[in-house]
Amino acid sequence: MIQDFHGKTAVLTGAGSGFGLECARIGAQRGMNLVLVDVQADALARAEAEMKASGARVLARRVDVSDAAQMEALADEVRQTFGAPHFVFNNAGVGSAGLIWENSVRDWQWVLGVNVWGVVHGVRLFTPMMLAAAKADPAWRGHIVNTASMAGLLTPPNMGIYNVSKHAVVALTETLYQDLRLVSDQIGASVLCPYFVPTGISQSQRNKPAELAGERLTKSQLIGQAMTDKAVGSGKVTAPEVAHKVFEAIEADRFYVFSHPKALGNVRSRMEAIVNVQNPPDPFMERPEVGAQLRAALREG
């Protein structure tokens, strides 16, 4: 949807690392104004310094995206500083593993707060601004990208909270796409569904709220964390490569953005089971050794 990025404004949450940082780097290269948002102060400061050194106009704010008041204050400041943003990347996210009944209420509140409410706030606050700008100028173009995951299209075991949060983001973004099509041809939407890419999300505990930091992890959570670390650490697709796919999707008005298209075979199996009214397929069909390892680890002792 956006063809010329120079002088346009991008709001990026989770901008201190991973996809957010890499998209900020591309935005800076293309002459965009950057609104950098992260909850981790040191990572945000490093990103701000780097983008300013590259010549970009930068507004950097430490914000908890799950907090409505903080996000509202951010939106007001963006409006006053740059006007309506042209590119909104609701990207901040945290990961959490474990058997679904073993997660505490506070685990659920933390993960859904960041992964779902962070996107909700980004959409509800910036979309009206963008629509107003589009109405005032027929040449104005904008695009919203929300970060989900392949876990938003699949239901891998031992990571239930994360799956729930990312399925919500997929549904929210698909609906956003349809809603925008009802009212405007000037604003597009995309959902990013990465697979295992080294970004730092597997170390989300570094940004856990203080009241969660001291909670003892269950056996299933420790096993899930170790398996995720291994999968992410061995990932061959990089965050910069995914960031380029995001910008390509914006330029082509492409909705679904995948880091690992080969993983769509698992999505097809799931969808076929639904349509054929069959029980959910074995999530480890393509890598049975991983399923055997997980079952053995959870059942021992």
Return the active site residues.
162
Identify which of 70, 8, 6 has the alpha carbon closest to the alpha carbon of residue 38. 70
**What is the three-state SS of 45-93?**
HHHHHHHHHCCCCEEEEECCCCCHHHHHHHHHHHHHHHCCCCEEEECCC
Answer for the pair 96, 215: CB distance below 8 angstroms, yes or no: no
DSSP H or E stretch at residue 125: helix 118-136
Answer for the pair 191, 256: CB distance below 8 angstroms, yes or no: yes
Give the whole-angstrom CA distance, residue 27 versus residue 260. Answer: 23
Answer for the pair 118, 92: CB distance below 8 angstroms, yes or no: yes
Residue 69 CA to its chain's centroid (Å)? 21
Give the whole-angstrom CA distance, residue 35 versus residue 88. Answer: 9
